[in-house]
Amino acid sequence: MGNLNLKNYLSIVGCLALFASLPSCNQAPNNKVNKNTHPLSYHGAYWVANIKVPEKPIKMEIINDMHIDTMSKRVTVYAQSRILGKTVSPPQVNPGECIDSRNGKVCFHPNAVYLNGTGKELTQADGTGDWWIKHSWILDGEGYRNWELPPLEDYGEGEWVEGNLLEDGLTMKVGVSDETKSGFFNLRKPVFDKNEISYQVIRYEPKNLDIKTGPIDKTPTIRFTIDFKCKEAKSAFNKIVRICPQK
């Protein structure tokens, strides 16, 4: 994908920040799905994207450790962003704590959970793991309270987010339930390449909401696409190696 500045990058880490639903967003059926594999299982993997930092010889790494329960349709994503191996988001601090950064004070993220490989989500650090952003929802069912991913001092009240499965039975659309924010949403979907399965998160936003630049146009328009590659790596949740989905 194209270059992103730090502000935009941090706003999309974890791929689930500021969404909204539209009445329809149909996807063409994907004929490459293995009939013996549950379509939702193609989402479940350790997905990694690398984004070049503008004007700097480094890349930012986005991790989405994505877990799927095909029976309940529960989706859980543990996300981090890293630069040169150091976690940028979420801040590695306990609830109620803050640290000073180059961009000012940043505090504990409301969606953060501590993972140390035990299969449990902890509320306090024990020195054996890391803080991760957790976003979890049931497709066409229960949502969750979402906060933007950038490290901040004050995160505000957040938004109630829900996820829906589109007609193709494979693509997820995730967005806030507030209809006044129509035009903002993310699509999450596996991509069936020739030799492997990759993953995309596509961000849509209204074409123009600034009257100073032209007529208001709420037509959903792609803002950016994040391309992920699968990596066989141990999940921070339970230390089990995530296996890449196969065609």
SS3 string, 180-229, reads HHCCCEEEEEEEECCCCEEEEEEEEEEEECCCCCCCCEEEEEEEEEEEEE
HSE at residue 161, side-chain half, CA atoms within 13 A, is: 27
Amino acid at the residue 85 = G
**Where residue 53 falls among pLDDT bands split at 50, 70, 90?**
confident
Please report the pLDDT score of residue 163 as a whole number. 95
Instruction: Count the Cβ atoms, other than its own, within 10 Å of residue 67.
Output: 18
Report the percent of the chain where pLDDT is more than 70.
Answer: 85
Q: Is the pLDDT of residue 13 over 90?
A: no
pLDDT single digits (tens) 102-151: 778 999 999 999 999 999 999 999 999 999 999 999 999 999 999 877 88
Note whether 106 and 151 are within 8 A (CB).
yes
118 beta partners: none
**Where residue 34 falls among pLDDT bands split at 50, 70, 90?**
low
Tell me what the mean pLDDT of segment 41-47 comes to: 97
Report pTM.
0.84
The answer for residues whose C-beta is within 8 angstroms of residue 23's C-beta and 6 or more apart is none
> Which phi and psi (to 5°) does residue 239 adopt?
65, 15
pLDDT single digits (tens) 200-222: 999 888 898 888 899 988 888 89
pLDDT single digits (tens) 111-120: 999 999 999 9
Please report the pLDDT score of residue 68 as a whole number. 97
